[in-house]
Structure 1
Amino acid sequence: MSAGTEAMADGALWDGIVVLHGRVEHRLAKALQRRHGIGLSEYRALCHLARAEDGELRMQELADLIGLNQSSVSRLVARLESAGLTRRAMCPKDRRGVYTVITDEGRAVQDKAAPTYVETLTESLDEAAADPALAPFLTRLRP
């Protein structure tokens, strides 16, 4: 395969992944908002915090894990704090370091929303697998 043909194939592959990602993200966001009143980024932040040691992460770590910049993650954490789902804590070793810590209420919301997330994700991927334009991507991604 020539470099030009390979680049076109890579472009087509990436375009398909972007379409698949967009469809799935839209469905997940809509289901979580409708059933649980939280956004997809909020849900993902709660999941990462719930799995973290002591239920806490530095703000930059959380930003990296959910693919947000520092400013966006600060706004996200502010929303979670306002809802009582997280709280901020200072790093005991470095007072400049700020952690966000999941609360019991945050764990309860994440636990309650998890089945919706899994169900919607599976349904979205199943639908994409039935779409001839997206089926090849699912064949590569799903075992």
Structure 2
Amino acid sequence: MTVDEQAWGRVLVLHARIEQELAKALQRRHGLGLSEYRALGKLVEGPRGGLRMQELADAIGLNQSSVSRMCARLEDAGLTIRDLCEDDRRGVYSVITDAGRKRYAETEPTYCSVLRTALDKAASDPALAAAVSAVRGA
């Protein structure tokens, strides 16, 4: 195995551990999935609180079908609404609601805390310490 393969393997292990911790915490404490949390975050940052579905898919790394299902769940929960693009009626936007902004604001501290704790824990593992340092830019 090459040095690059070994390094990439450590990054993948780090990623999997961190994602698992984040997903468990967000679901347990807030009833929100990790992709849903990330989607709300991208919508909060988006112009006028919305993004075209394809832009949202690209921003959070999901395919169009997965994003459509996720947005349906967010809409059912009252956290987003769908809106048609004014310029192109075929374009569909996902737009965050006030309830979605509130939910994101309530959830963000959990995400940040769990991320910091999970990275700290991984940094104590000699096999992952360099990967954590690279992620943190140290």
TM-superposed deviation, 1:9? 1.1
Which residue in 1 is equivalent to 2:101? 107
Q: Once superposed, which parts of structure 1, at least 4 consecutive aligned residues long, lie more than 6 Å away?
A: none
After superposition, where does 1:70-109 map in structure 2 within 5 Å?
70-109=64-103
Which residue in 1 is equivalent to 2:6? 12
**What is the alpha-carbon root mean square deviation over aligned residues?**
0.9
Which residue in 1 is equivalent to 2:31? 37
Q: Which runs of 5+ in 1 are unaligned?
A: 1-6
SS in 1 for 2:62: coil
Q: Which runs of 5+ in 2 are unaligned?
A: none
TM-score between the two structures when normalised by the length of structure 1 = 0.94
TM-score between the two structures when normalised by the length of structure 2 = 0.97
- State the identity %: 59
TM-superposed deviation, 1:141? 2.4
Aligned partners of 2:46 and 2:84: how far apart in 1? Answer: 16
Alignment pair present for 1:122 and 2:122 = no
Structure exhibiting the larger radius of gyration computed from Cα positions: 1
Which residue in 1 is equivalent to 2:131? 137
Aligned partners of 1:110 and 1:72: how far apart in 2? Answer: 20
Aligned length: 137
Equivalent residue letter for 2:125: D
